[in-house]
Chains A and B, each alone.
Chain A
Amino acid sequence: MLNKNPAWRYVVVIAMLLICMLYALPNLYPEDPALNISAARGAVVAEQSVTELEQGFAKAGIAVKSLQLQDGKVLARFASTEQQLQARDLAKSVLGSNYITALSLAPATPDWLTAIGATPMKLGLDLRGGVHFLLAVDMQAALDKHLADLVSRFRTDLRQAQIRYLSVKSEPATAHIVINFRQAADMNAAASVLTSQDSQLLIAEGPDKLSLQISLTEQRQREIRNYALEQNITIIRNRVNEIGVAEPVVQRQGADRIVVQLPGVQDTVQAKEILSATATLEFRLVDTDSDLTAALAGRLPANADLYYSTDGRPILLDKRVMLTGDHITDATSGYDEYSQPKVSIKLDTAGGSLMSEASKEAIGRRLASVFIEYKPGNELNTDGTPLLVKQQEVINDATIQMRLGRDFDITGISSPAEAQHLASLLRAGALIAPVQIIEERTIGPSLGKENIELGVTAIQWGLMAVLLFMLVYYKAFGVVANIALGANLILMVGVMSMIPGATLTLPGMAGIVLTVGMAVDANVLIFERIREELAEGRSVQQAIHQGYDRAFATIADSNITTLLVALVLFGVGTGPVKGFAITLAIGIITSIFTAVVGSRLLVNLIWGGRRLQSLPL
């Protein structure tokens, strides 16, 4: 007899449903008002601070739902928003300025679900409120700076090789450097010197007589652009982390764009100032001769200033700046020959000669790196925007061992993590390409909530309308289709919660509604086919069997083309459209599965393997 289900099919279908149900489950739990506390500058929160916090909360009568220390960060959950706000103020006063506290909503997923990696779907900014920025990095500026640096390097190189030249000029418009000579011999000598210095240069005959035209290889230009982009991303990420936003997104988009998403942030003025705030770096010699205690008491020596290091230690530095950070072209962390963490710094040509001059007389003295940043403070301008406060910090000081040149290392760093952090700060000190905001979207929190409600009601009503229609039209088979539709929705939500990159947006919710309407298609195809087979006089069991088998080819072909469109949409679309494409694609795949495998299982279970005269179709 036809249409009996092999046992393994039940196992597969039920297992899949259960897994997806499990992973869809976290979406049903509410969110707790929470506080994320992390230490500034990549440090970790100490156990002791956690105890202090707990005591502080207990004293103030703030009921803490839970308080966890994980990966050096604290997550504290509260019962209400008021307590969350109280707790933030308290945490700020208890811990001081070296810690960052951010308000957030932490999903109240039970531990056993978190343990298997089940988390709720990520919501897009249009559903949770917040600011979205798209920044464009000025690549021309990055290339110009590099060319200008090359020009001064060529001059030095040629002078050192004792080759006479008339002029070295950069032409930013065409990204060329042109060198003019008086004699052909000089020109040829210069070409070979420059090639030997840097194999990545393209040297050709220039526009004038006796001139060379030097351009950068495609690869070098790409490297410069990438570096400018990565550097900006590092800087912005650092800054965003400092202001305390829960789950910020700082991501590269395309060749020269950066997406910044700050969920929950409403004050775009502050956000923008942080994005465009400038950070600079200075190298100064440490003044060890003057009296530090006197300076702390307010009697500053004439030629030095009082600074504080990152860990709060006072330090006296020379008034004279030895070198500014815009000469740094690269800073990377690594290990020295004793396997101690170090940071290697590369300077541009001008910076190299300055450093070499200055360090010649300073061997044995300590050199401090001062990080200067303008941050929005607590005081307000007359127009209500926060006043920018200049913050200076000594991020590192080390003894100069020998005369330094264009490349030198900073050693004596306590940990590889600190070396990495220092390198990123040093790179941040010389922003080589400015950014510009080219897109900004702010969604108020009330609008986000409304959008979720609208989406959920639309899904509910849409689902109800379709369920009713199928029931009326196909009766008992309609029930089967409806169960398949319900299963489809569970699978969709489960899969979307499982995929880490999938974000639910308002168009994504529209996609779910649309999928509800389209998902019945596969079942409709099958049922209509079964009707046809019956009309052609086949027995009930043959009709069911043929109906499913024949409809399958159609379902596959028609859905593969739709899937193709969804994939194209995903590949090219951005933001909300991507969210829509994801739900569409997942919906197509799950609807094929529920119709071809799921509904067949049910139909076979109910009507299969028996002698029947007719079907309730």
Chain B
Amino acid sequence: MQIFNFSQPINFMRLKWPALLLSALLITGSFASIFSQGINWGLDFTGGTVIEVGLNEGADLTAMRQTLSVAGYPDAVIQLFGSSKDVLIRIPLRPDLEQATVGESVLQALSAELAEPVTLRRVEFVGPSVGEELKQDGGMVMLVALIGILLYVAMRFEWRLSVGAVLSLGHDVVLTLGLFSVLQLEFDLTVLAAILALIGYSINDTIVVFDRLRESFRKLRDATVDETINAAITSTLNRTVITSLTTVLVLLVLFFMGGALIHGFATALLFGIVIGTYSSVYVASAIAEVLGISREDLLPPPPPETETEFS
């Protein structure tokens, strides 16, 4: 069984300008959304208190809102979390609030007012400085990772490929951030981890294509740059699709069965892997092509005789 079996390389590069245009549009859209409506930062980044309580019966959110409003938390955001018996209460940071005690006082207010027993599932309090630092650190991690990749690929391959790879990674990250901004999904620590895992996954994909590209440049001596890139992408297409498929499979399992805490993580990776697969086929190679990569750039320093079949 084989998904694709092509006798001829597909002409991927024929669509490189439309693809780059599409990517440019998507990136612009993402940035527009990020700057206009921002990102729905989770507790880890904004600071504040999140309380998850479990109830025996379905929760009456209106009654809970009222109770908390009376108890001095008119700004509490109350929503169901995962099931109708699981309620998430968010209390933003307020300078007049002794944050460290919010958890207990909310729980007390609820248990006093509600007829049924309220069990505390988790309380998370994050101070204002911690969240701010995390944003900076998170950005820093991504930057360091991207620079590391830039250097490694430049060293092992060539600078044009390296730029292509890093731009395509940036593309994946921005689009995923864009998705979270457009849909206003909550961006928490696990999503940050997912985006970094995505960088790891996407670079893996890209390097596989680049590796074949280098080999094709050395083997196909008379082909044009476009033809060589097409050949490299076509011959790795099966692997690209199968690996994406197995990864998407496990992510679907995580998405549906991993529970509410891991939902954001699975969403970010699912979207990111689809985008990452596209970008390692189109964006990375197309950018290297546009930057003017040529056969000579990828030949080993002393030009080899002919590529020997058995080494």
Within 8 Å by CB of B243, from A136, A442, A524, lies A524
Q: B203–A506 contact, CB under 8 A? A: no
- C-alpha gap A281/B249 in the complex (Å): 62
A-chain residues with CB within 8 Å of residue B103 when the two chains form the complex: 268, 440, 442
Question: Which residues B201-250 have CB closer than 8 A to chain A?
Answer: 201, 203-205, 207-208, 211-212, 215, 235-236, 238-239, 242-243, 245-250
Chain B residue, CB-CB nearest to A555: B208
- C-alpha gap A126/B247 in the complex (Å): 25
Given A507-B193, A518-B247, A564-B152, are A440 and B125 neighbors across the interface (CB < 8 Å)? Answer: yes
Within 8 Å by CB of B145, from A458, A462, A565, lies A565
Q: Is A520 interfacial (CB 8 A cutoff)?
A: yes
**Residue interface mask A501-518, B partner, CB < 8 A = 1:** 000001100110110111
Q: B1–A469 contact, CB under 8 A? A: no
B-chain residues with CB within 8 Å of residue A126 when the two chains form the complex: 261
- C-alpha gap A450/B257 in the complex (Å): 12
Question: Which residues A453-511 have CB closer than 8 A to chain B?
Answer: 454-455, 457-458, 461-462, 465-466, 469-470, 472-475, 506-507, 510-511
Q: A564–B145 contact, CB under 8 A? A: yes
A-chain residues with CB within 8 Å of residue B258 when the two chains form the complex: 454-455, 458, 510, 513
Chain A residue, CB-CB nearest to B252: A465
Within 8 Å by CB of A458, from B1, B207, B254, lies B254
Q: Is A116 interfacial (CB 8 A cutoff)?
A: no
**Residue interface mask B77-110, A partner, CB < 8 A = 1:** 0000000000000000000000010011000000
Q: Is A198 interfacial (CB 8 A cutoff)?
A: no
A-chain residues with CB within 8 Å of residue B254 when the two chains form the complex: 458, 462, 510, 513-514
Within 8 Å by CB of A506, from B2, B252, B262, lies B262
Q: Is A196 interfacial (CB 8 A cutoff)?
A: no
Q: Is B282 interfacial (CB 8 A cutoff)?
A: no
- C-alpha gap A429/B213 in the complex (Å): 68
A-chain residues with CB within 8 Å of residue B130 when the two chains form the complex: 134, 438-439
Q: B120–A444 contact, CB under 8 A? A: yes
Q: Is B149 interfacial (CB 8 A cutoff)?
A: yes
Most chain A CB inside 10 Å of its own CB: which residue of B124, B235, B258: B258
Question: Which residues A120-141 have CB closer than 8 A to chain B?
Answer: 126, 134, 136
- C-alpha gap A229/B243 in the complex (Å): 48
- C-alpha gap A554/B144 in the complex (Å): 23
**Residue interface mask A581-598, B partner, CB < 8 A = 1:** 100100000000000000
Q: A444–B122 contact, CB under 8 A? A: yes
- C-alpha gap A559/B156 in the complex (Å): 13
Q: A562–B204 contact, CB under 8 A? A: yes
Q: Is A531 interfacial (CB 8 A cutoff)?
A: yes
The stretch of A314-322, A330-338, A366-374, A567-575 in contact with B is: A567-575
Q: Is B301 interfacial (CB 8 A cutoff)?
A: no
Q: Count contacts on B: residues with CB < 8 A to the other chain.
A: 69
A-chain residues with CB within 8 Å of residue B156 when the two chains form the complex: 557
Q: Is B64 interfacial (CB 8 A cutoff)?
A: no
Q: Is A283 interfacial (CB 8 A cutoff)?
A: no
Within 8 Å by CB of A517, from B208, B250, B257, B261, lies B250
Task: For residue A615, give the distance in angstroms from its CB to the closest CB of chain B.
Answer: 13
Q: Is A446 interfacial (CB 8 A cutoff)?
A: yes
Q: Is B119 interfacial (CB 8 A cutoff)?
A: yes
- C-alpha gap A557/B197 in the complex (Å): 17
Q: B1–A473 contact, CB under 8 A? A: yes
A-chain residues with CB within 8 Å of residue B141 when the two chains form the complex: 568-569, 572-573
A-chain residues with CB within 8 Å of residue B104 when the two chains form the complex: 268-269
Most chain B CB inside 10 Å of its own CB: which residue of A446, A450, A525, A577: A577
**Residue interface mask B1-17, A partner, CB < 8 A = 1:** 11000000000000000
Given A461-B253, A462-B249, are A514 and B197 neighbors across the interface (CB < 8 Å)? Answer: yes
Given A441-B122, A444-B120, A565-B200, are A507 and B257 neighbors across the interface (CB < 8 Å)? Answer: no
Q: B201–A518 contact, CB under 8 A? A: yes
Task: For residue B250, give the distance in angstroms from its CB to the closest CB of chain A.
Answer: 4
Chain A residue, CB-CB nearest to B269: A514
B-chain residues with CB within 8 Å of residue A521 when the two chains form the complex: 204, 239, 243, 246
A-chain residues with CB within 8 Å of residue B62 when the two chains form the complex: none
A-chain residues with CB within 8 Å of residue B199 when the two chains form the complex: 565
- C-alpha gap A441/B266 in the complex (Å): 22
Q: B122–A520 contact, CB under 8 A? A: no
- C-alpha gap A422/B190 in the complex (Å): 44
Q: B144–A507 contact, CB under 8 A? A: no
- Please list the 8 inter-chain residue pairs (A to B) with the smallest Cβ-Cβ separation, ordered nearest first: A438-B127, A517-B250, A462-B250, A565-B200, A517-B247, A558-B207, A562-B200, A454-B259
Chain B interfacial positions (CB closer than 8 Å to A): 1-2, 52, 54, 100, 103-104, 119-127, 129-130, 137, 140-141, 144-145, 148-149, 152-153, 156, 189-190, 192-193, 196-197, 199-201, 203-205, 207-208, 211-212, 215, 235-236, 238-239, 242-243, 245-254, 257-259, 261-262, 265-266, 269
7 of the cross-chain contacts (CB-CB < 8 Å) are A441-B123, A446-B121, A514-B251, A525-B239, A558-B211, A565-B197, A577-B190
